[in-house]
Structure 1
Amino acid sequence: MDSNPFQQVVGYWEEVIEDMEITAAEYREAGWDVVELHPGDVAVLDEEQYGFDVLVPDDEFDQLEAAISNATLNDTEIYRAEQDGFIFALAVIFDSDNEIAVCYPLYYSSENTIELRKQVEQTNQLDTIIRTLSNERAITISHDDPVSFFPEHPGSN
């Protein structure tokens, strides 16, 4: 078995990227401004801050920063699936008043999210920290329905 988890998920990850592109195109066809993020890495944060750490290329971070400078990202839609012990999610964060949407994929191990899920259920808070590869700039997005990031039944695989 390969110790690199990405090797276990690469096929599913490509499907989530395709789903993101289709979803983004639908928003664009409806007249929305859309930013698509293609993470270089996704990590689960479950100690001091709870949520996801998402590394994106500088040019995509710049697009995100410009798009949300006058927006309030206050709604979240999560499209989620489980395969082979991993959760794959497409997050669409949006400001419906200004018709701005940000789409980004996530993947995380079902086993590695046990503590994160407990925290989310207790606090009803979950953040995604989107940052540049150099870690010089970061944007934190708080999610309005954090439980939607997890399977319906804790511990189910």
Structure 2
Amino acid sequence: MSHHPDSPDDVDRKEIVADHSEELKSNWERALEDMQAMADDREEQGYETLAIPAGDTTTLSPSMGEDDTWGLSHVVPNNFADDFREQYETFSLDETGVYQMESGGFIFVVTECIDLDQEVVIFVAGSYDMRFSAGLVRTATERGEMHTHVKTLDGTVLGTFDHDDPADFFPDPEQFYAYDITEPDDPERRSDR
């Protein structure tokens, strides 16, 4: 199925988003508040923290770009770039925490990346549309890993976190597949399956 702006699917989706706009806004605010509360809690435990609200989050599957990059891609505001680079430079990912909720077909997620030795925690909050996540979910579950990419609006990649367990991000893959708007015979999506 080709995807065209203002197709019936888009019109229906726009209506759904409009009908749930206050709920979606409230859930985003809740995700940011939860992220800050978790950061405050980690700081009380002696960790240095960086909490970043992504301006945009995209689910990437291998067939979507010119390379094999896949995972959650977070576009972060430029005012966080220098702090992120500084922390990421010596960062070694030891543990990952993923906190998320679904609302109206959107996932609101906070990813907690922990460096135990350096006592640094980087949090990234984002939200994404489940309709476009099936390729990523399939890839992550088949390969048994997951990636979080952090970049700026101009596309500069600031860093990538490699996670061992995609189940942290997708505990119930079928929940994501139910929202899939692609068709099995779509050649552009075939490599995702």
TM value normalised by structure 1:
0.88
2:27 partner letter: Y
After TM superposition, where is structure 1 displaced by more than 6 Å over at least 4 residues in a row?
none
Check the 8 A contact 1:117/1:147 in 2, yes or no. no
1:20 and 2:35 matched: yes
1:81 to 83, 95, 101: 101
In 2, Cα distance between the equivalents of 1:70 and 1:140? 13
Distance 2:57 2:70 in 1: 13
Kindly state the Cα deviation for residue 106 of structure 1 after the two structures are TM-superposed.
Answer: 2.1
The aligned amino acid for 2:122 is: V
User: 1: CA distance between counterparts of 2:152 and 2:173?
Assistant: 34
Aligned pair 1:109/2:109, yes or no?
Answer: no
- In the alignment, the residues of structure 2 paired with residue 111 and residue 127 of structure 1 have an alpha-carbon distance, to the nearest angstrom, of 19
Higher strand share: 1
Corresponding position of 1:92: 112
The one-letter code matched in structure 2 to 1:112 is F
In the alignment, structure 2 segments of 5+ residues that lack a partner are 1-11, 179-193
The sequence identity of aligned pairs, in percent, is 25
Equivalents in 2 of 1:71, 1:151: separation in Å?
26
- Tell me the TM-score normalised to structure 2 length: 0.73
Using the alignment, how far apart are the partners of 2:156 and 2:140 within structure 1? 27
Which structure shows the bigger proportion of residues in helix conformation?
2
What do the CA deviations read for 1:11-32 (whole angstroms, capped 9, x no partner)?
A: 2111100000000000111110
SS at match of 1:76: strand
Alignment-mate amino acid for residue 73 of structure 1: L
Match status 1:66 vs 2:86: yes
Q: Deviations over 1:38-97 (max 9, x none)?
A: 211111111332211111122212111111222202310011211111222111001012
Is the CA contact 1:74–1:143 (under 8 Å) kept in the aligned structure 2? no
Structure 1 residue runs without a partner (length 5+): none
- Quick one: which amino acid aligns to residue 167 of structure 2? V
Aligned-CA RMSD value: 2.2
Contact 1:31 1:99 in 2 (8 A): yes
